[in-house]
Amino acid sequence: MKIQIITLFPDMFPGVLGASMLWKAQERNLVEFSYINLRDFGLGPRQQVDDTPYGGGDGMLLKPEPLVAAIELAKQNDPEALVILPTPRGAVYKQSDAKELAERACGLIFLCPRYEGYDERIIEWIDRQYCIGNYVLTGGELPVMIMIDSIVRLVPGVLGGETSTEIESFQQDDESIEFPQYTRPEDFHGRRVPEVLLSGHHGEIAKWRAENARKA
């Protein structure tokens, strides 16, 4: 899977995408990350990428020219890739979205907005809009990292185990929460592991786990 990231702050990503399972995914040639610096498409001698909003108001908006130029370059690199924008106006991002995106044959292009947002006219170049929650961040980089992590870990071969993702929270219907889990020691500060999990009776264990899973 080829993932391109359009951002004003490419230095934010390597620490996250270069660690743990995301690093392993790259080492196994299961995913390829690349960065497009939006500043490279800025206008004029100062490489301007933002401007004041029409109608007044505080803050600055990302201009359409740099954004679309960066998207078009990314599409030249991977013509069939989906362009994804994190935005409060988007659909709530769910596990089913991560699963669907992980299973697609095409690549992904993530656009990271900044400042007070972006010129609305760029929406014509966007394929998907997602919101990761009802709160405000300073930019789109963190939402993009979250989405990439949730997608790449579902790419076959990344986690290793054949059933690693099948019984996780939200995997079945976006609402199911996985059952509680325990490891050694059996007794921790007087809090014991449920006896059924120590019994070795697989049928009873499966029943207990089903009973203790819940809905979000």
User: pLDDT tens digit string along 1-15?
Assistant: 999 999 999 999 999
Alpha helices of 40-109 — where are they, by DSSP H?
64-77, 95-103
Q: What is the pLDDT of residues 46-59, one digit of tens each?
A: 999 999 999 999 99
Label residue 18 by pLDDT band (50, 70, 90): very high
Label residue 105 by pLDDT band (50, 70, 90): confident
Q: What is the pLDDT of residues 112-160, one digit of tens each?
A: 999 899 999 999 999 999 999 999 999 999 999 999 999 999 999 998 7
Pairing between β-strand 187-188 and β-strand 82-92 as defined by DSSP bridges: unpaired
pTM over the 0.95 mark: no
Q: Which secondary structure element, helix H or strand E, spans residue 35, and what is its range?
A: strand 32-37
Q: Per-residue pLDDT for 74 more than 90?
A: yes
Predicted confidence at residue 175, as pLDDT, reads 72
Contacts of 70 (CB under 8 A, 6+ apart): 6, 36, 38, 40, 41, 111
Q: Identify the bridge partners of residue 6 per DSSP, sorted by sequence position.
A: 36, 111
DSSP designation for 62: E
Least confident of 17-21, 28-32, 169-173, 182-186: 169-173
Predicted confidence at residue 215, as pLDDT, reads 73
**Domains, the chain:** 2-152 (3.40.1280.10), 179-215 (1.10.1270.20)
Torsion angle of alpha carbons 138, 141, 142, 146, nearest 10°?
150
Mean pLDDT confidence for 87-113: 96
Q: Per-residue pLDDT for 161 more than 80?
A: no
Q: What is the pLDDT of residues 164-181, one digit of tens each?
A: 555 555 656 677 888 999
The better pLDDT of the pair 41, 175 is held by: 41
**Closest-CA residue to 137 (of 163, 106, 116):** 116
